[in-house]
Structure 1
Amino acid sequence: MKKILLYASLATTVLFTSCDLDINDDPNYPMNDQITADLIFPSISASIASVVGGEVYNYAGFFAQYYEQKPESNQYNTLCEYTFTEASQQMDYSYRTLFAGALEDANQVLAKTSNPADRFATTILRAYAFQIMVDNTSDSPYSEALQGNANATPKWDAGDVVYKGVLNEIDMAEAALDGSAMDVPDLIFNRNLSQWKGFANALRLRMYLRFIDANVDAAAYTEKVKALVQNNEFFAGDVKLDCFLDETDKRNPWYNTNAVGLTGNHCAAYPLISYLTATDDPRIDYGINKTDADGKYVGQLPGGKTHMQSVLGTDNWKNKNVSAIDYSIGATKPVYFFTQAELQFLIAEVYIRFLNNDTAAKSAYEAGVAADFAVRGFAGQESSILEGECAWATVSTSADKLNLIYMQKWVALFYMDHMEAWSEIRRTDCPKLSSHSAAEIQKDASVYTPGDLVAPWTNGLEAGGLMKRMTYPLSARQHNTNTPAAVPGSTPVWWDVK
């Protein structure tokens, strides 16, 4: 039954977002009074999954420097070279799916049920959807959004306002719980309300840390993160949508686009391969193929396809000389909303930064590594790095310990949750940006520190550096006169102030 609901929801999501929709329109409910909350609720998570596991997952993987454009293909040249614009419509599908899909569905559920448990779970998904939007564009329609014809041009609220708003919504929904069980079909936690509470606390932890690093009410949010970690009431396992089958229209969305709909465009990026190699990490075998030419793992320098072709010649700089991303593991891969590994790394960070508890930080750090090894099918092999290059004992200062935590979080989010990888890079400035250019590194690899990010060789940002935000959706520009003026991709989002 779950799979039937999921496939119906995913098909509905594609149908609803295949054309330019005003996010305030309600074309999805022509027989609104006849559609009950239990029929709508599964489509919220399905719509979100099609975003964080599809279009956003794809471009965030380039920005996190997990992969690059294959030398012999051209689909994503503008993403790895930062030369796209609003006209490229890189996140228009995701914008429409979040608002006309997930958030409109959430509004419908909230309007149709009085069950506090169902409303709580719906509110959490609503908060998560808004968080994704804000982390892409820094601000978002919120206070005036989703009002239909009553307000066809909602204002875009500042990101910290949206964050505070959805956090307050979660608090109020949780306070209203009365012991009732969930009634709606639940594709994520199978109606386990304790797990939903744990997910809510994890989202709080993630967002509180961003307030702290943005220096917005930092003292208050510091006390909040300390309490969350000390209470330790988080979800078990991973928060994921895990209902995909290797059948037509039932596959993982990123796989379906790139392995089925396209010919394959992704090769491994230089920073990821360099770090996994330097740390003797066996996870290099997960989702990455060895080169055809010599059976090694080779990463491509960010934004360097055009330059490498000019140096080596088009015929020589092909996939035989660089490691392709292995799509074969992706057909039925779940879409992750929050991994246990990320959660443990956030907990470890709090123990170091705010609770001065090295023992607990080490335990959480090692739990995060172990969780990621396990979810990739490498359970029991984590000692290869925890007793080696990435052992807690190899670092002594708090700064170095945080760097170790952040680097392992970056590794753990590869092929899992690329949006959060990109967000955490921006929040923590880790991996750091190399002080050497791609050209310098190509000429002399010894100047490069494994794992450092590299400014793309061809870089469309006027200020250079790395991508800090996504462009506003063109469909928003076309339909909403209150859409803010375009902002350069080098301009940080509200919580990225370092």
Structure 2
Amino acid sequence: MKKYIITPILALLFVGCTTGDDVNLDPHAAYDTTQESLVTFAQKELSDYMNTPSVNENNFRLTMQYWQETIYVNESNYDFTNRNVSNNVWTDNYVNVLKNLDQAEQIIKAYVPPPSELSTWPAKKTNQLAIVDMMKIYTYQVLVDTYGDIPYTQALNIDVYPLPKYDKASDIYSSLISKLETDLSNLATNGSSFGAGDIYYKGNNAQWKKFGNSLLLKLGIALADVNPTLAQTTVNKAITGGVLASPQDDCKFQYLAASPNENPMFQETGSRDDFIAGKTLVDYMNASNDTRISKYYTDVDGSYIGQVIGAPGEFSEFSNAGEFAYTATTPGVILSYTEVAFYLAEAAARWGIGGSPSALYSTAITASFTEWGVGADAAAYIAAHPYDASNWKKSIGEQAWVALYNQAVTSWNFYRRLDYPLLVAPTTAIPNANGKVPVRLQYPAAEATTNGTNYAAASAAIGGDRLTTKLFWDKF
């Protein structure tokens, strides 16, 4: 089977592999391609969503008060309806990622190998299916953690289920964990899979095994407050299986210097001055003497200055995002060693799993400093900000918030689960936010109009389609 890598021409070709604005997809879309090319495209689309700062799609750098808008401050004040943000998030993940992965899965299952591949295809097929499913699981977790109940069992079969029902978020989580355990059991670390078509790990199945166990850890930790028994069992399995253990294990998408394959941050920042530093994080880092600030932001005459959240500001008067955000080839992060290190610290703090909470807390902070090229400064920072066992949620929550500056979607999960840092909504926030930082996105308006019955049932089941409605795992 021919392997593909992303090129500008191929990227344009892939547009034909996506579907229309309906969530669960254009039944007339044509798929005349290989599983490798579909996986490549889905990987890029997933990375684009997780990493873009586009106010039309991903506003979590604003929600987590890392960045602030310069002129049009709607999204900083939680007005996500003006630009149909939820519609775009829904389409990005269901159509551009999940449907392409699902089509790749169908091609894999239907493939009839020639005689020359008869001996190798069965193992390769198993590995490909496991990897595709892992990416689907990752994406479904993103969607559940964004909305709560979502279409799942009927989501990708538009011919049979043109108006899919919404499944309970807790049931989806249980299913994802079960599926992932099966995938990890099926995946052979020494076999072949997608080769160069796999931009994340270049067909390295041993790395995918670490990714899968780390994703299992992430799923387990999310359930800590709502289903501690399943959470601990899942976390133990993940750690035993072997999670990301160094920055070399990071799951990333390597962007290119040429359009249209630059990092989406660069696409948003390279030609416009739309974002400046947010005061909340800048002030915290200034007060903490945190040397990562020089990587996170630019200085203004030697000082780091952030604008009040929700308020406009002149681009030249405040710190801007650091050089990484203005570099076309900055990799897009999907899952990082730093993130995993904080999960391990949390597991130790909650249940005594995996080692000393204090030591793992230090490891996680050191991982972040190393990630940003200032590893030599980590020890002094940790000494000045030691682990507090009496309020471990504050210790881990605040430090994870700082460390996951470039993983805002993930940071939002830590914030909701641990209730730190103590973010304050701007006084100018829209009334629908009820004076609070959002803990979910509202369902897309398109769902209310095209899938109204199922939308209404889901809204009632979760306690109301509001920015302030907590997810099932967000108990405190």
Task: Tell me what 1:88 maps to.
Answer: 83
Alignment of 1:171-320 (within 5 A): 171-177=181-187, 181-184=191-194, 185-213=197-225, 215-216=226-227, 218-229=228-239, 232-234=242-244, 236-237=246-247, 238-260=249-271, 263-291=272-300, 294-305=301-312, 318-320=314-316
One-letter identity of the residue aligned with 1:404: S
How far apart in 1 are the matches of 2:251 and 2:188?
26
How far apart in 2 are the matches of 1:170 and 1:29?
29
Task: Tell me what 2:473 maps to.
Answer: 495
How far apart in 2 are the matches of 1:287 and 1:243?
20
Query: What's the % identity of the aligned pairs?
Result: 22
* Deviations, residues 313-355 of structure 1 (Å, cap 9, x unaligned): xxxx633442222365442111111111110111011112101
How far apart in 1 are the matches of 2:353 and 2:94?
41
The answer as to whether partners of 2:279 and 2:309 remain within 8 angstroms in 1 is: yes
Residues 492 and 112 of structure 1: is their aligned pair in 2 closer, same or farther, counting only changes over 3 Å? same
One-letter identity of the residue aligned with 1:337: I
Task: Tell me what 1:347 maps to.
Answer: 344
* Deviations, residues 239-284 of structure 1 (Å, cap 9, x unaligned): 3333212322121013213433xx2211111210111111101111
Task: Tell me what 2:424 maps to.
Answer: 454
The answer as to whether partners of 1:58 and 1:254 remain within 8 angstroms in 2 is: no
The answer as to whether partners of 1:136 and 1:470 remain within 8 angstroms in 2 is: yes
- Deviation of residue 363 (structure 1)? 2.8
The answer as to whether partners of 1:281 and 1:384 remain within 8 angstroms in 2 is: no
Q: RCO greater where, 1 or 2, for CA within 8 Å and sep 6 or more?
A: 1
Unpaired stretches in structure 1, ≥5 consecutive residues:
306-316, 433-452
- Of 408, 412, 416, which residue of structure 1 is paired with 2:399? 408
How far apart in 1 are the matches of 2:37 and 2:353?
48
- Deviation of residue 180 (structure 1)? 6.5
How far apart in 2 are the matches of 1:25 and 1:53?
26
One-letter identity of the residue aligned with 2:455: T
- Of 410, 415, 424, which residue of structure 2 is paired with 1:425? 415
- Of 477, 483, 495, which residue of structure 1 is paired with 2:455? 483
Residues 422 and 271 of structure 1: is their aligned pair in 2 closer, same or farther, counting only changes over 3 Å? same
Describe the SS at the equivalent of 1:113.
helix
- With the length of structure 1 as denominator, give the TM-score of the two structures: 0.82
1:361 aligns with 2:352: no
Task: Tell me what 1:337 maps to.
Answer: 334
Task: Tell me what 2:436 maps to.
Answer: 465
Residues 233 and 287 of structure 1: is their aligned pair in 2 closer, same or farther, counting only changes over 3 Å? closer
User: Aligned pair count?
Assistant: 446
1:138 aligns with 2:148: yes
Task: Tell me what 2:116 maps to.
Answer: none
The answer as to whether partners of 2:18 and 2:100 remain within 8 angstroms in 1 is: no
- Deviation of residue 297 (structure 1)? 1.0
How far apart in 1 are the matches of 2:263 and 2:188?
36
Describe the SS at the equivalent of 2:425.
coil
How far apart in 2 are the matches of 1:178 and 1:340?
22
The answer as to whether partners of 2:188 and 2:205 remain within 8 angstroms in 1 is: no
- Deviation of residue 168 (structure 1)? 1.7
One-letter identity of the residue aligned with 1:299: G
- With the length of structure 2 as denominator, give the TM-score of the two structures: 0.86
How far apart in 2 are the matches of 1:361 and 1:302?
33
Residues 96 and 15 of structure 1: is their aligned pair in 2 closer, same or farther, counting only changes over 3 Å? farther
How far apart in 1 are the matches of 2:291 and 2:353?
32
The answer as to whether partners of 1:9 and 1:46 remain within 8 angstroms in 2 is: no
How far apart in 1 are the matches of 2:75 and 2:174?
31
How far apart in 2 are the matches of 1:44 and 1:229?
28
Describe the SS at the equivalent of 2:257.
coil
Residues 9 and 407 of structure 1: is their aligned pair in 2 closer, same or farther, counting only changes over 3 Å? farther
Residues 151 and 406 of structure 1: is their aligned pair in 2 closer, same or farther, counting only changes over 3 Å? same
CA RMSD of aligned residues (A): 2.6
How far apart in 2 are the matches of 1:487 and 1:363?
41
Unpaired stretches in structure 2, ≥5 consecutive residues:
110-124
How far apart in 1 are the matches of 2:358 and 2:274?
38
One-letter identity of the residue aligned with 1:203: L
Residues 16 and 95 of structure 1: is their aligned pair in 2 closer, same or farther, counting only changes over 3 Å? farther
* Deviations, residues 168-195 of structure 1 (Å, cap 9, x unaligned): 2222233334677133222111222221
The answer as to whether partners of 2:200 and 2:254 remain within 8 angstroms in 1 is: no
- Deviation of residue 30 (structure 1)? 4.5
How far apart in 2 are the matches of 1:351 and 1:109?
38
How far apart in 2 are the matches of 1:61 and 1:118?
33
Residues 355 and 179 of structure 1: is their aligned pair in 2 closer, same or farther, counting only changes over 3 Å? closer
How far apart in 1 are the matches of 2:148 and 2:35?
31
How far apart in 2 are the matches of 1:37 and 1:225?
31
- Deviation of residue 412 (structure 1)? 1.1
How far apart in 2 are the matches of 1:118 and 1:219?
31
The answer as to whether partners of 1:242 and 1:335 remain within 8 angstroms in 2 is: yes
- Of 31, 44, 47, which residue of structure 2 is paired with 1:49? 47
One-letter identity of the residue aligned with 2:437: L
Describe the SS at the equivalent of 1:336.
strand
* Deviations, residues 46-94 of structure 1 (Å, cap 9, x unaligned): 1211211224884011111111112xx22xx111112333x53113223
Residues 405 and 301 of structure 1: is their aligned pair in 2 closer, same or farther, counting only changes over 3 Å? same
Residues 252 and 14 of structure 1: is their aligned pair in 2 closer, same or farther, counting only changes over 3 Å? farther
Task: Tell me what 2:98 maps to.
Answer: 103
How far apart in 2 are the matches of 1:12 and 1:381?
46
Alignment of 1:370-409 (within 5 A): 370-387=366-383, 389-392=384-387, 395=388, 397-399=389-391, 401-409=392-400
- Deviation of residue 417 (structure 1)? 1.0
- Deviation of residue 364 (structure 1)? 2.1
The answer as to whether partners of 2:69 and 2:276 remain within 8 angstroms in 1 is: yes
